[in-house]
Structure 1
Amino acid sequence: MRHPSRTTFRAAAAAGAAALLALAGCSSSSTSGGGGSASGGGAGGGTLVVGVTSDPDTLFPWKATQFQAVNVLQNLYGTLTELDKDLNTVPGLATAWKASDEGRTLTLTLREGVTFADGSAFDSADAKSSLDKIMDEATAAVAASTLASVKSVQAPDPRTLVLKLNAPDAALPSNLASVNVAMLSSDDTEAALTAKPNGTGPFTLKGRVASQSLTLAANPKYWGQEKPKVAAVEFRVIPDESSIVSAMQSGNVQLAVFNDPLVARTAATGQVSVAKTPQLSYHALQLNSRRGELGDKDVRLAIQCAVDREQVLQTAALGEGEVTGPITSPAFRSDPARRPCPTRDLAKAAEHLAKAGKSGGVTIKTIVSQGEYATSVNEAQSLKAQLAEAKINLDLEVLESGAFVDRWVAADFDAAVALNGGRPDPDGMYGRYFTSKGNLNKVAGYSSPELDRLFEQGRTTTDQAARKAIYDKVAAELEDNAAWVWLFAGYNYTATASGVQGFTPMANGSLQYLRTTTVQ
């Protein structure tokens, strides 16, 4: 079945093709990276209340993987580059960057007049310290492999940062926009920042009540030409999306981002408008090939062939989305038809189980998050019912968001029903997962010499068409070995009360445009 929404997805992919940036120079000292008009002045008035279903599990940006933690930290910390609303890489704390030495040197010019929340000045020493610590294995930063091409970092003067690379890295400017590569003061420690964030972002931490609320205050020293337009943003924890709708309709919450399309429909009233945005994030059944039965490729392929992705999409998300392959990055999007068993094939699934010597069936222990996104349990139940027909039993363990993230980061699972964030560049999206030295490879549960070779080629190639061909091979390697079972990419539904203006939803789910939002 074809859905009208698929046209929207393809249009978004075409519009995002420009998101690819190689090591070309970029310069703009007058923009805040947001792409909006200047507002001058400081913060406006009022508090914007944002309804969320979970509390951030960390306030340390280099280790944040939970969606809610990332959304909060993006508003507290700055990065060398940023993504605009169309996912183009634009200046952030760096106003310009230029490649030289055949792409093996990247020189960044840093913005003047930037201060941290504690009033101390940001300069190249802080940037060098941040990148060096992220690359240090002892830090256990989740984006360490993002900087795999960086051989050394130099700070020849306060406004200049020089990255010496092992080889050209076409993805690096885009990857530097991740909050997992946030710039921290060289004087700060993880322990200190976990208790009290100290960033260069548009907001500062005002207060927190665990499992209830987290409040940000507008940063009067924010470097951006466009200052925050509200005095404060309160993230109010409300356990489920339906309860957030009730809070919006009673006027207690002004903005929320929903994952469940049914909830989004109930939210749209005369007082609340809902905007639908296709997402780069993707739903998947992650398979840990280093554990138990899943070490056999034929067991994994049996699972892949026994799944009707369209049915999962219909059951969990009312058909709101598109079946996807591994890569959702707009300029590199995978073709889901180019996979073993592009449609459900129970006969093939039985053949693979027989090859594995498991004709009698297998049981796969599977973790599921309840709370971080709304469709997770419905997805898991749909998968369980489908796979049971192929003699594959998903033994589901439903966990609250924090417990799920802890188990996920520790790779303490055989399989996991997961929603993972996509990125404009596939290297940033998957290099840390599916390369043998990727810092999240333990979580991915799969790597191969061929993937290592392909990811290296993808980073060092600057021609867009050539990179697309390389990442098509990456997708084929992942699908042919059933590293995971990719399901679908859906929508985010941004609900805003009638008095809220100026918020721009993004395809990567970022809430960075809270800084342009007003509330009456």
Structure 2
Amino acid sequence: MSTARRASYGALTATGLALALVITGCSSPSPTPDADSGSAGGDLVLGVTSDPDTLFPWKATQFQAVNVLQNLYGTLTEFDEELNVVPGLAESWDVSEDGLTVTLNLREGVSFADGSTFGSEDVKFSLDAIKDEATAAVAASSLASVASVEATDETTVTLTLSAPDAALPANLAVVNMAMLSSDDTEEALNATPNGTGPFILEDRTPSQSITLAKNDEYWGDTALLDTVEFRVIPDESSIVSAMQSGNVQLAVFDDPLVAQTAEAANVTIEATPQLSYHALQLNATRGDLTDVNVRLAMQCAIDRQQVLETAALGEGEVTGPITSPAYKSDPDSRPCAERDLDKAAEYLDAAGKSDGVTINTIVSQGEYATSVNEAQNLKAQLAEANITLELEVLESGAFVDRWIAADFDAAVALNGGRPDPDGMYGRYFTSTGNLNQVAGYSSPELDELFAEGRQSADPEERKAIYEQVSDHLEDNAAWIWLFTSYSYTATTSDVEGYTPMANGSLQYLRTASIK
């Protein structure tokens, strides 16, 4: 690929990012592009391989759904291009000296897509509902430290915390924390989204396309594009053909081989390293996987570099659990940093499973391109250790349903990473985490470590804590972390102003335009 990889992590120094995440007062303006607002225009078609499985932001886990929703909804804080936490719907926030009271100062003049005014009652409604177990919000655990929410006045919200929470600003920036109108319901929003984002829903044809139009009442700089159509085209190779014929102007590929074939006179490719990670998730509550020795045997039987080379042409790097740049895990700090079939056999023998085990494994087809190749390579490698993966390949929506219900022994998964490790894993690997059922593993030691990580404001202390988290996850083979890779953003020559991000966000569609 002729284009150089974009160093998206470059500005994320360990100290700089950690300090950005500590709860402190903040009054800098929200990031907006240097653009003559509304001066451009045009209709952009973005090729995607599957339709969003939900339009309700609090429950969105599918990448395609998240990519659409983050352009329709607003959050209290946001990430900028370098993944620093910056103001969003909260234009500033203040924290008490003991760290137990956070005062959010809301942006004025913000309205929802239906024209109603955004205010403190909507923030209270949203945060209380996300915390409510009955809502089944996927980011509920990110508000574990929030004891109460008070709408102090029309533009002020006061959060009372049970303990200081250094991860809270970053956790508030994800679309699963979108601010909703207190008048809306899940059923209504799945039909007609009603957000405060730079775009509004214009049209949807299920399984074919979803079209967004610029929101002229957006509180920030108005989007330059008139519309963005997410057009469903079942496979990445077909999207390439659509781009080369001029029917699609932008796409984000997972498969480097497809990206290479896309590059042409009218299409350029920008490769961006991602925080998202590929893993073989193991459900330690099911069958043979309840025995740590079986899980460790699987861990030792896998050559991660081989998986990377098979699935992604070696475009990426072997990873440990934490991909956040300031807290990045050392992939060599794990049992069997290199493949060791003898050690795998020893672990199986210790489990009393010398004759082998069979693990039923779900695989998503359609959400990302490398999944089936990963699964086939893992199956072949583990077979050499007398471990059989029985693969069940599912379309994206069915996979997500099974995944959320924890209805699997193992899952070949691509999970989104975050700049802060608490938001990344606190909801998975703590005993009260709302996705702990999906993770299939927790321990008192992890509960304590995550609590310490949230409460510490010292970057070096937090780094040491999350190193212990990473080691514990690896030593117990909670999952088998494989590799991180790149996203390949393909744009035709008439697209300007779009910025890919290391967290996979498409938020900078708001700054894109067509020549």
Instruction: With the length of structure 2 as denominator, give the TM-score of the two structures.
Output: 0.97
In the alignment, structure 1 residue 149 sits paired with structure 2 residue 148: no
2:156 corresponds to which of 160, 168, 171: 160
User: For structure 1, which segment, 260-269 or 15-24, has the greater mean C-alpha deviation from structure 2 after superposition?
Assistant: 15-24
The correspondence for 1:37, drawn from 17, 23, 34, is 34
Tell me the residue number matched to 1:222: 218
Instruction: Supply the distance in 2 between the matched residues of 1:12 and 1:98 (Cα, whole angstroms).
Output: 26
Q: Are 2:63 and 2:367, in contact at CA under 8 Å, matched by a contact in 1?
A: yes
Q: Indicate how the Cα distance of structure 1 residues 215 and 7 shifts in structure 2: closer, same or farther if over 3 A, else same.
A: closer
State the alpha-carbon separation in 2 of the partners of residues 386 and 229 from structure 1: 49
Q: Which amino acid aligns with 1:123?
A: G
Q: Which residue of 1 aligns with 2:28?
A: 28
In 2, Cα distance between the equivalents of 1:206 and 1:9? Answer: 32
CA–CA distance in structure 2, aligned partners of residues 15 and 462 of structure 1: 13
Deviates more, 1:447-456 or 1:6-15: 6-15
Cα gap change, 1:229/1:8 in structure 2, threshold over 3 Å: closer, same or farther? Answer: closer
Q: 1:137 to 1:10 in 2, by over 3 A?
A: closer
**What displacement does 1:25 show?**
1.3
Write out per-residue CA displacement over residues 195-222 of structure 1, whole angstroms, 9 at most, x where no aligned residue: 1000000000001111000000111100
Contact conserved, 1:104 with 1:165, CA < 8 A, in 2?
A: yes
Distance 2:481 2:94 in 1: 36
Q: CA deviation at 1:18?
A: 2.2
Offset, 1:9: 8.1
1:50-75 Cα offsets, whole Å, 9 max, x none, are: 00001000000000000000000000
Distance in 2, Cα, partners of 1:213 & 1:7:
30
Distance in 2, Cα, partners of 1:296 & 1:166:
35
In the alignment, structure 1 residue 192 sits paired with structure 2 residue 188: yes
Choose which of 332, 335, 349 in structure 1 pairs with 2:327.
332
Q: Which residue of 2 aligns with 1:205?
A: 201
Alignment pair present for 1:452 and 2:447: yes
Structure 1 CA distance, aligned partners of 2:211 and 2:400?
Answer: 23
Residue 111 (1) aligns with residue 111 (2) = no
What percent identity do the matched residue pairs reach?
72
Find out whether 1:98 has 2:97 as its counterpart: no
Distance in structure 2 (CA, Å) of the matches to 1:16 and 1:179: 26
Q: Distance in 2 between matches of 1:397 and 1:43?
A: 50
Kindly indicate whether the alpha-carbon contact (under 8 Å) linking 1:16 and 1:87 is maintained by their aligned counterparts in 2: no
SS in 2 for 1:26: coil
SS in 1 for 2:489: strand
**What is the identity, as a one-letter code, of the residue corresponding to 2:177?**
V
Post-superposition Cα deviations, 1:294-334, rounded to whole Å, max 9, x if no partner, equal 00000000000000000000010000001000000110000
The yes-or-no answer on 1:121 pairing with 2:120 is: no
The Cα shift of 1:38 comes to 4.5
Residue 343 of structure 1, aligned match among 332, 338, 347: 338
Instruction: Name structure 2 gaps, 5 residues minimum.
Output: none
* Displacement after TM superposition at 1:15 (Å): 8.0
**Post-superposition offset of 1:98:** 1.4
Q: Which deviations, in whole Å up to 9, do the C-alpha atoms of 1:14-57 show, x marking residues without a partner?
A: 4895264101111134x3x34x22533x4742210000001000
C-alpha distance after superposition, 1:123-180 (max 9, x if no partner): 0110011000000111110010000000000111111111100010000001100100
> In structure 1, how many angstroms separate the alpha carbons of the residues matched to 2:15 and 2:213?
32
| 2:170 corresponds to 1:170 | no
Q: The residue matched to 1:490 in structure 2 has which SS? A: strand
Indicate conservation of the 8 Å contact 2:6/2:273, yes or no.
Answer: no
Q: Indicate the residue corresponding to 1:369 in structure 2.
A: 364
**Residues 423 and 508 in structure 1, CA contact (< 8 A), matched pair in contact too:** yes
Aligned partners of 1:151 and 1:163 also within 8 Å? yes
What is the distance in 1 between the residues matched to 2:138 and 2:119?
24
Name the aligned partner's letter for residue 503 of structure 2: N
Aligned equivalent of 1:480, options 475, 479, 497: 475
Which residue number corresponds to residue 518 of structure 1? 513
- Specify every segment of 5 or more residues in structure 1 that has no aligned partner in the other structure, as ranges: none
In the alignment, what sits opposite 1:132? 128
CA–CA distance in 2 between the matches of 1:300 and 1:43? 57
Contact 1:39 1:227 in 2 (8 A): no
Q: CA deviation at 1:289?
A: 0.3
Q: What is the alpha-carbon distance in structure 2 between the residues aligned to residue 8 and residue 80 of structure 1?
A: 28
Matched, 1:62 2:58: yes
Shift of 1:286: 0.1
Alignment of 1:198-347 (within 5 A): 198-224=194-220, 226-347=221-342
**1:43–1:218: 8 Å Cα contact kept in structure 2?**
no
- Distance across 1 between alignment mates of 2:102 and 2:309: 46
Aligned to 1:489: 484
Aligned residue identity for 2:408: F
For 1:282 and 1:25, the matched residues in 2 are separated by 32
User: 2:414 aligns to what SS in structure 1?
Assistant: strand
2:117 is paired with a residue whose SS is coil
| Structure 2 CA distance for partners of 1:289 and 1:334, relative to 1, 3 Å | same
- Structure 1 residues 16 and 86: alpha-carbon distance in aligned structure 2, compared to 1, 3 A threshold: farther
Q: Which runs of 4+ in 1 moved over 2 A?
A: 5-20, 42-45
Structure 1, 387-396 or 6-15: larger mean CA deviation = 6-15
Q: 1: distance between equivalents of 2:314 and 2:254? A: 13
Asked if the contact 1:114/1:222 (under 8 Å) is kept, the reply is yes
Aligned position for 1:18: 17
RMSD, matched Cα: 1.5
User: Equivalents in 2 of 1:514, 1:185: separation in Å?
Assistant: 24
Aligned match of 2:432:
437
What displacement does 1:101 show?
Answer: 4.0
CA offsets 1:477-509 (integer angstroms, 9 cap, x no match): 100000000000000000000000000000000
Question: Cα 1:218–1:10, aligned 2, differ >3 Å: closer, same or farther?
Answer: closer
Assess if the C-alpha contact under 8 Å between 2:6 and 2:270 holds in 1.
no
| CA shift for structure 1 position 11 | 4.4
Note closer, same or farther for the CA distance 1:186–1:9 as it changes in structure 2 (3 Å cut).
closer
Q: Which residue of 1 aligns with 2:462?
A: 467
1:413 alignment partner AA: F
Tell whether 2:405 aligns with 1:410: yes
Deviations 1:273-297, CA, capped at 9 Å, x for gaps: 0000000000000000001110000
Q: Does the CA contact (< 8 Å) of 2:47 and 2:230 recur in 1?
A: yes
* C-alpha distance in 1 between matches for 2:347 and 2:79: 43
